[in-house]
Amino acid sequence: MTRLSQLGFVVSLALLGACAQHSPYQGQEGRRIKSLSAEEVDGYLEGRGMGYAKPAELSGYPGPMHVLELADRLALTNEQRSATQALLGEHKAEVRELGRRYVESEAELDALFASRKASTESLADALARSADLQRRIRLSHLSTHVRQTALLTPEQVDAYARLRGYASHAH
């Protein structure tokens, strides 16, 4: 093998090694909670929707936050406005608490690995807690849309869909 071809071979191996070591998780090892980005942690702690209610929203079940944003255009009555504000307040309190507990459960899962104490049994327990909290968060978001829809007239639900750009899903 000539010197030039040897150099090319070495460069090729180095490039191949560099490519093989790249991971889509690169740079995430410094996260406080490995499974959650800082934005996700904030979203859970603040009780943001984070896409959990998408099946309801896109199927004609309005959410209270957006109903309040569109209150005048939906011609909400005082009673509807008050009921919607109460629903939103109750929902936000619930999902913030659930979100706090979910973030804690993910931190506990992370700690199992960081402490090198992860076992099949400890993982099963930690994942059951985490999954149940995530299920409850999603249930809260989805059921809030169902409850909000019951506070509106069919005409308001149709108007909501049009105003949000879902005219093809108006009922």
End-to-end CA distance of the chain: give it in Å, rounded: 75
Does the residue 2 lie in any domain?
Answer: no
Does the residue 29 lie in any domain?
Answer: no
Does the residue 3 lie in any domain?
Answer: no
Does the residue 169 lie in any domain?
Answer: no
pLDDT of the residue at 32 = 84
pLDDT of the residue at 1 = 63
Domain of 158, in residue numbers: 38-164
Does the residue 64 lie in any domain?
Answer: yes
Distance CA 82, CA 90 (A): 12
Distance CA 23, CA 107 (A): 22
Q: Model confidence over 7-23: pLDDT tens digits?
A: 665 555 555 555 556 78
Residue ranges for the chain with pLDDT beneath 50: 170
Residues written for the chain? 171
The candidate with the shortest Cα–Cα distance to 100, out of 129, 53, 133, is 133
The candidate with the shortest Cα–Cα distance to 62, out of 144, 137, 145, is 145
Does the residue 10 lie in any domain?
Answer: no
The count of domains in the chain is 1
The candidate with the shortest Cα–Cα distance to 41, out of 93, 91, 105, 92, is 105
pLDDT of the residue at 28 = 81
Does the residue 108 lie in any domain?
Answer: yes
Residues 6+ apart with CB under 8 A from 99: 43, 44, 45, 46, 47, 137
Does the residue 30 lie in any domain?
Answer: no
For 29, 68, 78, 79, 113, the CA distances from 74, given in Å and listed in that order, are 47, 9, 12, 13, 51
Here the CATH number for the domain that contains residue 81 is 1.20.120
CA 111 to chain centre: 22
pLDDT of the residue at 31 = 80
Q: Model confidence over 86-100: pLDDT tens digits?
A: 999 999 999 999 999
Distance CA 12, CA 161 (A): 56
> pTM of the entire structure?
0.82
